[in-house]
């Protein structure tokens, strides 16, 4: 069985020092048996990055969308649809969740408030000035535990910044309610198509150039992505070839 201490040793073996800003995508079952189960994993990550900023994607597009009666996001009660670890993490003491109605991020650390602030003010989730842009500005790491680059949501930001035509023409008109009970309208252009299903196309190039490296967390084969290095490689590539991640077959969404 993996322990909190052994999982922290796995993080050290990746070359992480604990002061990073790190976004974690995860498959809990891929990690194997862990002391205190999912809470043990969160304890290991929270303790290791106590001097950094620990971030999980708490996306909620399954629960907040354009279907009747589903246009309202509540920061405390709207579930995350990204797995058990993000769902448990968002409820932990000290964790701050951004107010974006479909692509929120939850963060734990001394500047979590500043990192998540204002996400709802932009008409796309990946604006340079918002939390996803801050990941790149802070030279964050992205740890994919037991999942591939298909789950690396931050790559959508690079598509958007390269002006790949992936945004919906018409926005969704949604509402977000914060901890203070205040509700604000939010206009959201979402990413169309199925480009994320093709993100693994970039893995050989990103591995060859040192932007991504393979590692292990518990039993889970994992990937560690350097945001700044990835931006340096993929942004000009997408500017030259906007169809790099375009699916070979169009899907009905």
pLDDT of residue 194: 77
The total number of structural domains in the chain stands at 1
HEC string of 137-155 equals HCCCEEEEECCCHHHCCHH
Task: Tell me the C-alpha distance between 137 and 38, whole Å.
Answer: 30
Task: Tell me the C-alpha distance between 107 and 54, whole Å.
Answer: 6
Tell me the backbone φ, ψ of residue 16, rounded to 5 degrees.
-85, 140
Is 180 part of a structural domain of the chain? yes
Q: What is the pLDDT of residues 99-126, one digit of tens each?
A: 999 999 999 999 999 999 999 999 999 9
pLDDT in single tens digits along all 253 residues of the chain: 999 999 999 999 999 999 999 999 999 999 999 999 999 999 999 999 999 999 999 999 999 988 888 999 999 999 999 999 999 999 999 999 999 999 999 999 999 999 999 999 999 999 999 999 999 999 999 999 999 999 999 999 999 999 999 999 999 999 999 999 999 999 999 888 778 899 999 999 999 999 999 999 999 999 999 999 999 999 999 999 999 999 875 443 3
Where does residue 193 fall: left (phi above 0), alpha (psi -120 to 50 degrees), or beta otherwise?
left
Is 87 part of a structural domain of the chain? yes
Is 249 part of a structural domain of the chain? no
Is 122 part of a structural domain of the chain? yes
Parent domain of 120 = 4-240
Concatenated DSSP letters for 20-31? SEEEEEE-HHHH
Is 77 part of a structural domain of the chain? yes
Residues contacting residue 240 through CB under 8 Å, at least 6 positions apart: none
Is 246 part of a structural domain of the chain? no
Q: Where are the alpha helices (DSSP H) in the chain?
A: 4-13, 28-31, 37-48, 84-89, 112-116, 131-137, 154-161, 203-208, 227-240
Task: Tell me the C-alpha distance between 135 and 139, whole Å.
Answer: 6
The pTM of this model reads 0.95
């Amino acid at each position: 069985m993996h322990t909190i201490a052994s999982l922290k040793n796995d993080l050290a073996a990746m070359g992480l020092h604990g002061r990073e800003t790190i976004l974690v995508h995860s498959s809990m079952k891929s990690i194997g048996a862990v002391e205190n189960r999912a809470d043990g994993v969160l304890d290991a990550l929270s303790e290791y990055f106590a001097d950094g900023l620990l971030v999980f994607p708490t996306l909620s597009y399954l629960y907040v969308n354009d279907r009747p009666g589903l246009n309202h996001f509540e920061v405390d009660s709207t579930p995350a649809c990204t797995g058990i670890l993000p769902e448990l993490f968002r409820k932990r003491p000290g964790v701050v969740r951004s107010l974006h109605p479909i692509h929120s991020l939850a963060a734990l650390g001394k500047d979590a408030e500043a990192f998540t602030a204002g996400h709802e003010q932009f008409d796309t989730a990946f604006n340079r000035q918002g939390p996803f842009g801050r990941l790149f500005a802070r030279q964050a790491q992205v740890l994919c535990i037991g999942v591939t680059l298909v789950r690396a949501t931050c790559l959508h930001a690079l598509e958007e910044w390269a002006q790949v035509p992936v945004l919906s023409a018409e926005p969704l008109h949604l509402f977000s309610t914060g901890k203070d009970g205040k509700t604000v309208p939010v206009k959201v252009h979402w990413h169309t198509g199925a480009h994320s299903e093709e993100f693994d196309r970039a893995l050989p190039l990103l591995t060859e150039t040192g932007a991504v490296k393979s590692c292990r967390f518990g039993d889970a084969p994992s990937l560690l992505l350097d945001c700044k290095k990835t931006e340096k490689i993929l942004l000009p590539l997408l500017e030259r070839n906007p169809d790099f991640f375009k699916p070979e077959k169009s899907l009905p969404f």
